[in-house]
Chains A and B, each alone.
Chain A
Amino acid sequence: MTSTSVVDPAVERAAGSVLPNRRPSRRGWVGYALIAPFFILFAAFGAYPLIFAIQLSFTDWRGSGSVNWIGLSNYTYLLTNLEFWGSLANSGVMWLLIVPIQTIAAVAVAALLSRSNLRFTKVLRTVVILPYVTPMAAMAQAFILLFDTNFGVTNYLLGFLGMEPIGWLTTTFWSKPTIALFVLWKTSGFALIIMLAAVQQIPGEVYEAAAIDGANRVRTFFLITVPLVRRSVAFFVVVSTLGISQMFLEPYVLTKGGPYTSSKTSGLYLYDHIGASDLGTGAANSFLLVILVLILSLAATKLLRSED
C-alpha cells in the first residue's frame, strides 16, 4: 500500500488563504530586520563565547599551541580539588554574612523611609545610596586605612576600650567578616533601591485598612509589607547569589584572597586559572559555578514563592 495525501486539494486551496505562505511578506522581512541587530549582537557576544567556553572546558588549551580534547578531566580535577571546594565554602560563608542581613535591613529601611514621618528622608536615601555609586578602588583604600591592624582607626578606638588590636584583614577568622562588612557598606544602596521600589508599589489603602483594624507598626510590617515584597526579595536574593558567586574585586583589592586562602572566593579562584592561562580549567570552573548558582537561584525562588 502506498501512502497518499489525505488532504483534499480543494480544502488545501481554500486553506491557502489562512495558512502561512512559503515566502515571507515584505512586512515579515521588516520585522526580522528590526530584531536582527539584537540577535546578531547576542550571537556574537553572548552565544558564541558561551559555546566556545563550553568547548574550552573539555580541552587543555592554554592560549597557544594545539587544542587537545581531554574529556571531563578539567571537571574531575576541580571536583576532587580541596581548593575548589574551599573557594566555594568561602563564597558560601560570604553569602551567609551578607545576603540575609542585607535583605532584611533593606526591607526594614525601605519601609521606614517610605511610610514613616521621619524628617530628612531624601537626605537619608542619598546617604545610603552614596557608597553604591562611589568607585570601588577609592572605597577599598579608605577601608584598608580604617581596618589596618597596626595603624587603623578601628583598632585605635578598640584600644580606648582596653581591647587588643584585631587583624581585620590579616587573620583567617576576621578576613571574611571584614570583607562582608565592606560589601554591605558598598552595595546596600542597591538593595535599598530595589526594596524602596517594591514598598512604594504597595497601595496605601492596604495600610489604611490595617490601621483601621488596629494593627500596629510591627504587625503591619510583618503581615503586610514583608509578604507583599516577597517577589522583590526573591529577585534580590537571586541577584545577590549571582554577585557573590562571581565576587572578585572586593577580596582582590582588600586581601588578595588571604591570609593564606581564607578569603579566596570562587570568583577569585576562577581568576587564578585564567591568570595562569589555564583556560580549560577556568572554563570548567565557570560552568560548575553556573550549575551551582542555577540550583541555588531556583531553590531561592521556589522557597520565596511557595506561599504565594
Chain B
Amino acid sequence: MTGNNNPWTAGSPMTRRRLLNAFAVAGGLGLASPLLSACVPGSSGGGEEKLAPSPSAAASGTVTLWMRDDDLLKVFKTVIPAFNKKYPDVKVNMVGVDIATKLPPTLISGTGVPDGSFYEDVNIGAQAAHLFDLTDLMAPHAADTLQFKLDVATYDQKLVAVPWDTDPGMLYYRESVLSDAGVDPASLTTFDSLLDGARTIKEKFPKAQPIPLEQDANLGMQWLMMMINQQQGTGLVDANGALTIDTDAFRRALTWIKTVADEELGARSKFASTGHVAQLDDGTISLVPWAIWFNFLPQTGLKTTKGDWRVGLLPAWEEGGARSGVMGGSSFVIPKKAKNPELAWLFYEFAMYDPAGYGTVYGPNDTYPNGLNTALPSVKAALEGPPLFKPVAALGNQDLWSIDTEAAKAIPPGYRIPSWFNSAAAYLGVNMQKMIDGKASVDEVINVSVEQITKNLVDRQR
C-alpha cells in the first residue's frame, strides 16, 4: 500500500511548510497594513469635534451612561425619574462600571463606547482627543460654573467635560483634643498658626502627631497640589502647559510639610487604611487639612470618635489669602464615538444645572439620608441657594453647608491638570515622600522633580 495517511502530506495541496508560509505572509501583511493605512483602533481622526444638539422635549431614544460602580450609581439613578418628566421619551440605561480601568481601552478601541461617562478630572486630559468639544453647549452655563472647574476640563481651548463635583480643601479637627490642649480652632487661620496648634497639642500629648503625612505618593501629591492651587491658582502647570514647580508656592508648601515631618508633628499612614483609622480614633491625629471628602471617615469609618470631629476653613498661607484649594473632583464626558451623544448631553445638563437635577443628587435620599455631603456642586446657583444636605451628628451637627460652600467658592481659578498628571506621582510624589522621610531637601525635591518630569513626561508628549 502506497497511500499516505498523514493529512499534512497525503492528498493535500498544502504542505506544513506552505501553511506556515501562508501564516507568515498573513502576519507580514498584518504588520504592514495598519501602518500603511494609518487605520489604528480608536483613531479619532475624522470624528465630529463639536456636539450641537438642540435640546428638545421631543428627544427620544436610549442613552447608555457609565457611572462609577458605588453609591454614586445609586444616587444618580434617582435622577432618572425627574429627568424623564422633562424628557419622557428618553430611556436612560445607567451602568455601573470600573471606569478608570475600562473607559480608556474602550475609547481607544472604539468598541462598546458609552454615550456618556463619569470620569475623574485627573484622567480626562489623557483621553481628551476622544471627547466632544462641549464649549458651545456649555457657554450658557459657563458664568454659573466655578471657574476652576472649567479650567481643569479645558484642553487646547476645548471644554471636553461637563463639570460635576467640587472638592474644596477643608480643615477637620478633633474638638476634644484641641479643647484639652487649649487650642482655639478659630485661631487656625494660617498654616503657621496650624503649625503652632500642632506644637501645642504635642506638648500636651507627647505621643500625638497631629497632622497626617500621607504615605501614598499619588495621594500625597494631590494633597500638595491643594496647597499649591490655594497659593498660586495653578498646579503643576500654567495655562500654557509650562511647569510651575520651581516657584515660591511649591517651596513654601514643601518647607511647611518638611517642618511638620522634622518636628515629628506628622503621622505617617495611608489614607483610610487600618493604621490611619486607628490614628484618628486614638488621638494621634487631630488636625487634618484635607479635601471635603475626609468627612466620610467620621461618618462611616471611625469607631470611637464619631461626633468629636468638626470642620473649618482651610488655613491661608498668609493673612487674607485663599481659604481653600482643590483636591479631587470629577466630571462627565461624552465620547466622539457615542451613538447618542445628544441624549447624554441632555441628561448631564439636567443633572448638573437643573435645580430638580442637582437637588436630587445632593439632597437626602435612600443612600444618603442627610444628603450627599462628601462633595459639592460646581454650579454657583446651587452653592448660593438653600442647603442641599443637612448637618450630621458625626460632625457635631455643624452647619456643614455654609462652611463647605464658602470653601468651594474660595478655590482660586487657573488650575490645570496636564494629561500626564498621574504619572508625575512617580517623580514629584515619590521625591516628596523621600523628603518627609528625611532623605531629601526641599530644593532637591524641586530640582530633581523638574528634571525627571521634563525628561520622562513633558518631552515625551509628542
Contact = CB atoms under 8 A, between A and B. Distances in A.
Interface of A: 17-18, 20-25, 27-28, 31-32, 39, 43, 47-48, 51-52, 54-55, 60-70, 77, 81, 83, 144-145, 148-151, 170, 256, 258-261, 272, 275-279, 281
B290 to A, nearest CB: 19
Contact of A278 (B38, B107, B460): B460
A65 B11 contact: no
Interface of B: 2, 7, 9-15, 23, 26-27, 30-31, 34-35, 38, 40, 42-45, 104, 107-108, 126-127, 129-130, 215-218, 268-269, 273-275, 278-279, 419-420, 422-423, 426, 430, 433-434, 437, 456, 460, 462
Contacts of A27: 7, 11
B44 A64 contact: yes
A197 B283 CA distance: 55
A51 B30 contact: yes
Contacts of B107: 63-64
B7 A31 contact: yes
A21 B27 contact: no
Contact of A66 (B26, B38, B268): B38
B108 A23 contact: no
B7 A64 contact: no
18 contacts: A21-B11, A24-B14, A25-B11, A25-B12, A28-B7, A32-B14, A63-B104, A63-B130, A64-B127, A77-B460, A144-B274, A148-B275, A151-B274, A151-B275, A256-B216, A259-B437, A260-B430, A276-B422
B13 A20 contact: yes
Contacts of B126: 62-63, 276-277
Given A25-B12, A148-B274, A63 B42 contact: yes
B31 A54 contact: yes
B31 A51 contact: yes
Contacts of B274: 144-145, 148, 151
Contacts of A60: 462
B236 to A, nearest CB: 14
A51 B275 contact: no
B86 to A, nearest CB: 34
Contacts of B38: 66-67
- Pairs of residues from A and B, 9 with the lowest C-beta to C-beta distance, nearest first: A64-B129, A25-B11, A63-B108, A31-B7, A28-B12, A60-B462, A276-B423, A64-B44, A150-B275
A23 B278 contact: no
A20 B11 contact: yes
Secondary structure class of chain A's binding surface, majority of residues: loop
Given A20-B12, A25-B11, A64-B44, A47 B27 contact: yes
Contacts of A278: 460
Contacts of A149: 275
B30 A21 contact: no
A174 to B, nearest CB: 14
B433 A47 contact: no
Given A24-B11, A67-B43, 8 more contacts: A27-B7, A47-B23, A48-B30, A52-B34, A63-B108, A65-B43, A150-B275, A256-B216
Contact of B13 (A24, A68, A148): A24
B422 A24 contact: no
Nearest to A277: B126
Nearest to A48: B30
Contacts of B422: 275-276
A51 B30 CA distance: 7
Nearest to B128: A64
Contacts of B44: 64-65
A276 B427 CA distance: 14
Contacts of A24: 11-14
Contacts of B35: 55, 67, 69
A148 B273 contact: yes
Given A24-B13, A272-B426, A276-B126, A68 B462 contact: yes
A72 B40 CA distance: 20
A53 to B, nearest CB: 11
A65 B275 contact: no
A69 B107 CA distance: 22
A65 B129 contact: yes
Contacts of B462: 60, 62, 68, 70
B275 A261 contact: no
Nearest to B461: A62
Contacts of A144: 273-274
B13 A65 contact: no
A280 to B, nearest CB: 9
A196 B421 CA distance: 49
A258 B432 CA distance: 13
A60 B460 CA distance: 9
A68 B38 CA distance: 9
A70 B460 CA distance: 12
A63 B423 CA distance: 16
A60 B35 CA distance: 12
B104 A277 contact: yes
B278 A150 contact: yes
B426 A261 contact: yes
A28 B19 CA distance: 13
Contacts of B130: 63-64
Interface centre among A39, A60, A65, A276 (most CB of B within 10 A): A276
Contacts of A51: 27, 30-31
B460 A259 contact: no
A55 B40 CA distance: 11
B225 to A, nearest CB: 18
B42 A64 contact: yes
Contacts of B13: 20-24, 28
A47 B30 contact: yes
Contacts of A145: 274
A153 to B, nearest CB: 11
Contacts of A62: 126, 462
B332 to A, nearest CB: 19
Contacts of B268: 170
Nearest to A55: B31
Contacts of B218: 256
A249 B23 CA distance: 35
A276 B420 contact: yes
Contacts of A65: 43-45, 129
Contact of A272 (B23, B278, B423): B423
Contacts of A68: 462
A258 B217 contact: yes
Nearest to A273: B423
Given A51-B30, A64-B43, A64-B44, A260 B7 contact: no
Contacts of B419: 277
Contacts of A31: 7, 12
Most buried by A among B38, B129, B426, B434: B426
A51 B24 CA distance: 11
A272 B422 CA distance: 9
